[in-house]
């Protein structure tokens, strides 16, 4: 099926609308919708927040309000994700589209959510509506990279953020790392936090920096879950990451909780959950470090779509070494810290260049005086 120039323009607009839900729609997907007749856009909609109306329903309501009932009969609907077919927090969108008697639905990508997974498209086709998928599919995948990964694998999309010097250092030998990058880069990080369902750090960073890890943008409407990976429960109860300004969750090894019936930590009642320890190749406990794959599965259960890791070289290095990092978000500051300063990631010694982990740069962008790179594993 070939698409017209107008089809692309309408879907590009639907994607633009969907992106308005970047920081508010999760754990739901970001979805946009455009209703058109011929080459004229009649109405638009987007999904703003969980529990609120879906994009298709918003657009149909807008059309009914501006033109009148039956205004969608015979129209073409452009939507960035397969319309839902199940009763969730709201009724199925496919029922609304069938009732409105639209003629064509053009969908960017199917929804891998097991509750939908092709059923939405089938309902529309059974009702005699022409359904076409695949228009601007790559852009639609990127927009919901976290939701789609969670639906397909049960785990969040993991983005590891690090600020480094020109010589690849993340802190001085004495641990000082405030601030390697400039204020613009730090503000940019706030937006990556805001679009994430959770931000995760290690106890090493909590003890060194006492970060707050919340979103401090003006008008911020949603705070990510703050997660601390802390096998021996060394996070001070007064740590800022537990300050109550956003929900917090500490993962600790069950043995660290044994004898103590801890389910909350700190004055603001941060949740503490036990997590299995990592095993080394011989099956023995590997220095009480927590099993990150278990943590990711748990965060998937908690409906975390995008996870932003803001940890030091030890924990960030483990995510990368275990192949659990889906993306690196690196800010490079034009300053030199010297070879005694801390590395970007703690990784095992390599004997051969063939063993080196390889990434491809998907984006490079100047932020103030720093350079932002986004990379994905090859």
Ligand X SMILES: NC(=O)c1ccc[n+]([C@@H]2O[C@H](COP(=O)([O-])OP(=O)(O)OC[C@H]3O[C@@H](n4cnc5c(N)ncnc54)[C@H](OP(=O)(O)O)[C@@H]3O)[C@@H](O)[C@H]2O)c1
CB of 237 to ligand X, least distance (A): 16
Please count the CA atoms within 13 angstroms of the CA of 186 that sit on its side-chain side. Answer: 11
End-to-end CA distance of the chain: 31
For the question of residue 48 being annotated catalytic, the response is no
Query: Look-up: residue for tokens 């995510």?
Result: 319
**Member of 313, 320, 328, 372 binding ligand X (CB under 6 A):** 313
| E strand map for the chain | 32-37, 40-46, 76-81, 104-109, 130-133, 157-165, 169-171, 198-202, 225-229, 248-253, 264-265, 270-275, 277-279, 285-290, 306-309, 327-333, 342-343, 359-367, 370-377
Instruction: Report if residue 254 touches ligand X, rule: CB under 6 A.
Output: no
- For residue 344, what are its two tokens? 């970007």
CB of 177 to ligand X, least distance (A): 3
Angle made by CA atoms 241, 243, 244, in degrees to the nearest 5:
115
| Number of amino acids touching ligand X (CB under 6 A) | 31
Instruction: Report if residue 198 touches ligand X, rule: CB under 6 A.
Output: no
Please give the Cα distance from 243 to 93 (Å, whole number).
40
**Member of 106, 116, 162, 198 binding ligand X (CB under 6 A):** 162
Please give the Cα distance from 45 to 49 (Å, whole number).
12
Instruction: Report if residue 201 touches ligand X, rule: CB under 6 A.
Output: yes
Closer residue to ligand X, CB minimum distance, 234 or 298: 234
Instruction: Report if residue 175 touches ligand X, rule: CB under 6 A.
Output: yes
CB of 141 to ligand X, least distance (A): 28
Quick note: the x/- pattern for ligand X over 259-288, rule CB under 6 A, is -------------------x---------x
Among residue numbers 317 through 336, which ones bind ligand X (CB under 6 A)?
A: 318
Instruction: Report if residue 171 touches ligand X, rule: CB under 6 A.
Output: yes
The sheet carrying 359-367 orders its strands as 264-265, 270-275, 248-253, 225-229, 198-202, 306-309, 157-165, 327-333, 370-377, 359-367
Instruction: Report if residue 132 touches ligand X, rule: CB under 6 A.
Output: no
Closer residue to ligand X, CB minimum distance, 86 or 234: 234
CB of 280 to ligand X, least distance (A): 11
CB of 163 to ligand X, least distance (A): 4
Closer residue to ligand X, CB minimum distance, 91 or 204: 204
Among residue numbers 289 through 308, which ones bind ligand X (CB under 6 A)?
A: 289-290, 292
Closer residue to ligand X, CB minimum distance, 79 or 200: 200
Backbone angles phi, psi at 89, to 5 degrees: -75, -15
Q: Which helix (H) or strand (E) holds 257?
A: helix 254-257
Residue nearest to ligand X (CB): 312
Answer for the pair 161, 304: CB distance below 8 angstroms, yes or no.
no
Closer residue to ligand X, CB minimum distance, 118 or 175: 175
CB of 174 to ligand X, least distance (A): 8
Instruction: Report if residue 312 touches ligand X, rule: CB under 6 A.
Output: yes
Instruction: Report if residue 182 touches ligand X, rule: CB under 6 A.
Output: no
Instruction: Report if residue 180 touches ligand X, rule: CB under 6 A.
Output: yes
Instruction: Report if residue 212 touches ligand X, rule: CB under 6 A.
Output: no
**Member of 20, 222, 234, 271 binding ligand X (CB under 6 A):** 234
Answer for the pair 245, 222: CB distance below 8 angstroms, yes or no.
no
- For residue 26, what are its two tokens? 């999760």
Whether the bond between 76 and the residue before it is cis, its omega within 30 degrees of 0, is no
| Selected catalytic residue, list 23, 48, 56, 310 | 56
Nearest to 84 by CA among 70, 65, 63, 98: 98
**SS3 sequence of 210-227:** CCCCCCCCCCCCCCCEEE
Closer residue to ligand X, CB minimum distance, 62 or 286: 286
Integer angstrom CA distances of residue 52 from 49, 94, 121, 198: 5, 16, 22, 21
- Site residues (vs ligand X, CB under 6 A): 162-163, 170-171, 175, 177, 180, 201-205, 208-209, 229-232, 234, 278, 288-290, 292, 310-315, 318
Q: Which residues are catalytic?
A: 56
């Amino acid at each position: 099926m070939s698409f017209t120039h107008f089809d692309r323009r309408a879907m590009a607009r639907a994607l633009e609308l969907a992106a308005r839900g970047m920081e508010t729609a999760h754990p739901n997907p970001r979805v946009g919708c455009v209703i058109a007749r011929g080459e004229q856009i009649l109405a638009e909609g987007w999904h703003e927040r969980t529990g609120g109306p879906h994009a298709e329903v918003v657009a149909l309501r807008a059309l009914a309000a501006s033109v009148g009932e039956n205004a969608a009969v015979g129209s073409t609907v452009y939507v960035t994700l397969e319309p839902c077919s199940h009763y969730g927090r709201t009724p199925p969108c496919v029922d609304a589209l069938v009732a409105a008697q639209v003629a064509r639905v053009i969908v960017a990508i199917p929804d891998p959510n097991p509750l939908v997974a092709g059923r939405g498209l089938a309902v529309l086709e059974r009702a005699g509506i022409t359904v076409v998928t695949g228009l601007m599919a790559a852009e639609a995948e990127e927009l919901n990279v976290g939701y789609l990964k969670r639906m397909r694998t049960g785990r969040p999309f993991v983005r590891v953020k690090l600020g480094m010097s020109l010589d690849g250092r993340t802190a001085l030998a004495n641990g000082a790392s405030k601030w390697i990058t400039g204020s613009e880069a730090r503000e940019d990080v706030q937006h990556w936090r805001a679009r994430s369902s959770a931000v995760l750090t290690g106890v090493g960073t909590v003890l060194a920096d006492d970060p707050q890890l919340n979103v401090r943008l003006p008008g911020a409407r949603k705070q990510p879950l703050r997660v601390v990976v802390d096998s021996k429960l060394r996070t001070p109860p007064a740590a800022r990451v537990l300050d109550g300004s956003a929900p917090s969750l500490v993962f600790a090894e069950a043995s660290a909780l044994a004898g103590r019936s801890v389910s909350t930590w700190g004055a603001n009642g941060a949740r503490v959950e036990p997590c299995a320890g990592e095993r080394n190749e011989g099956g023995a406990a590997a220095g009480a470090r927590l099993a990150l794959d278990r943590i990711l599965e748990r965060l998937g259960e908690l409906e975390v779509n995008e996870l932003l890791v803001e940890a030091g070289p030890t924990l960030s290095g483990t995510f990368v070494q275990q192949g659990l990092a889906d993306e690196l978000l690196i800010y490079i500051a034009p300053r030199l810290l010297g070879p005694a300063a801390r590395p970007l990631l703690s990784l095992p010694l390599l004997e051969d260049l063939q063993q080196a982990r390889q990434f491809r740069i998907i984006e490079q962008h100047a932020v103030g005086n720093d350079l932002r790179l986004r990379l994905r594993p090859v």
